[in-house]
Amino acid sequence: MKKIHSLLLSAIFSIAIFSSAAHAAVITFDDLPATEADAIHNGYHGFNWGADFMTSVAYINKNTLPGTGFASGVVSGDYAAFNNFATTSTISSNLFDFNGAYLTAAWNEGLLIEVTGFLDNLALFTTTVTVSTQQAQWFDFNFIGINQLSFRSWGGTASNPDEGGEHFVMDNFTYNESTSTQVPESSSLALLLLGAAGILLGRNTKKA
């Protein structure tokens, strides 16, 4: 009986994970209008890309600034996002899960980026990463059930004495489209499994 119980719990856990993964979406920034660089307008893929002008997120073509992190930070296609004024940038929407993204330093080697996930202005998750100008790095964040992200960058050393700044580049922003639709699906499957468990346990009781 203990073995059956353990197997059912494992199955429920596996199905919950599978349900979340099935809704994963990737924003590559390559479906934005062709340009050298521009701001991302609110509503793009259902997100607000900045609370105001100074916290806005922009996007850039990899050929606009060759030899910098703006070029090496592009993972797919020709475009990636960046913090427009090298200030703390915010991304918000309805409830979502932030799975991860590729991050790169635009100018400063060893740039630090603090990524924070909020739910109704309450910070639930905070992770700080260090990034390079040479290549994009994938980071798993797994911030579950949030409605706002902030990206704060600072520090590092300018790779070129004549150029520097605390900009970072982001590509392949990966998220779960809607956590609100995942819970019922997982719960329904779990209830079916628990019902099956009840039948099995009932049969064992009768046999005893």
Say if residue 183's pLDDT is above 80. Answer: no
d(CA 75, CA 73): 6
Domain ranges of the chain: 1-23+180-208, 24-177
Say if residue 22's pLDDT is above 50. Answer: no
Say if residue 178's pLDDT is above 80. Answer: no
Strand-pair partners of 109: 157
Angle between helices 179-207 and 2-21 (to 10 degrees): 160
Query: What tokens were used for 201?
Result: 């346990």
Say if residue 31's pLDDT is above 70. Answer: yes
The pTM of this model reads: 0.77
- Cβ pair 69, 104 in contact under 8 A: yes
**What distances in angstroms separate CA 133 from CA 116, 136, 142, 150, one per listed residue?**
22, 8, 24, 21
d(CA 94, CA 14): 26
Q: 24-177 in CATH: which number?
A: 2.60.120.1350
